[in-house]
């Protein structure tokens, strides 16, 4: 069974640009969550999608957005990039049913550098 796949793995952007990151969850997983990881702030929750609906949102500005498609694939977008957006962006998928184990499965992440 393929794991969570994130693309691209690495990217470099300049301030003011926008970026779109993609996440393909494990087959059968319908919930996708996004996290930002930085040395200073650690791992912070961005948002979670289930059945194409955003169910939960972290404390990030409106420049951070996301969406989920009918096949459960998800994208997140960051507009008007700032230097502080440089981070590892992690995607995680899960089976949000009452019978699940509670575990989230993570991808390898997309490393964004903003110059």
Partner 1 sequence: AQTVTQSQPEMSVQEAETVTLSCTYDTSESDYYLFWYKQPPSRQMILVIRQEAYKQQNATENRFSVNFQKAAKSFSLKISDSQLGDAAMYFCAYRGDFGNEKLTFGTGTRLTIIP
Give residues in contact with partner 1 (CB under 8 A): 31, 33, 35, 42-43, 45, 48, 50, 55-56, 58, 88, 90, 92, 94, 96-98, 100-109
Distance CA 44, CA 35 (A): 5
Helix (H, G, I), strand (E, B) or coil at 37: strand
Which residue from 10, 30, 19 is spatially nearest to 80, judged by alpha carbons? 19
Contact predicate 5/73, CB 8 Å: no
Q: Based on CB atoms, which residue is closest to partner 1, 19 or 33?
A: 33
Min dist. Cβ of residue 33 to partner 1 (A) = 6
Min dist. Cβ of residue 84 to partner 1 (A) = 18
Q: Based on CB atoms, which residue is closest to partner 1, 54 or 80?
A: 54
Contact predicate 74/66, CB 8 Å: yes
Min dist. Cβ of residue 13 to partner 1 (A) = 20
Q: Based on CB atoms, which residue is closest to partner 1, 80 or 100?
A: 100
Q: Based on CB atoms, which residue is closest to partner 1, 70 or 98?
A: 98
Express the helix, strand and coil content of the chain in percent, nearest 5 each. 5, 50, 45
């Amino acid at each position: 069974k393929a794991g969570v796949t994130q693309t691209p793995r690495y990217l470099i952007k300049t301030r003011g640009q926008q970026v779109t990151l993609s996440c393909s969850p494990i087959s059968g997983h319908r919930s996708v969550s996004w996290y930002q990881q930085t040395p200073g702030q650690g791992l912070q929750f961005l948002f979670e999608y289930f059945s194409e609906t955003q169910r939960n949102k972290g404390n990030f500005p409106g420049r951070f957005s996301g969406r989920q498609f009918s096949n459960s694939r998800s994208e997140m977008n960051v507009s008007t990039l700032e230097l502080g957006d440089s981070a590892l962006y992690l995607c995680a998928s899960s089976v949000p049913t009452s019978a699940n184990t509670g575990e989230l499965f993570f991808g390898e992440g997309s490393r964004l550098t903003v110059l």
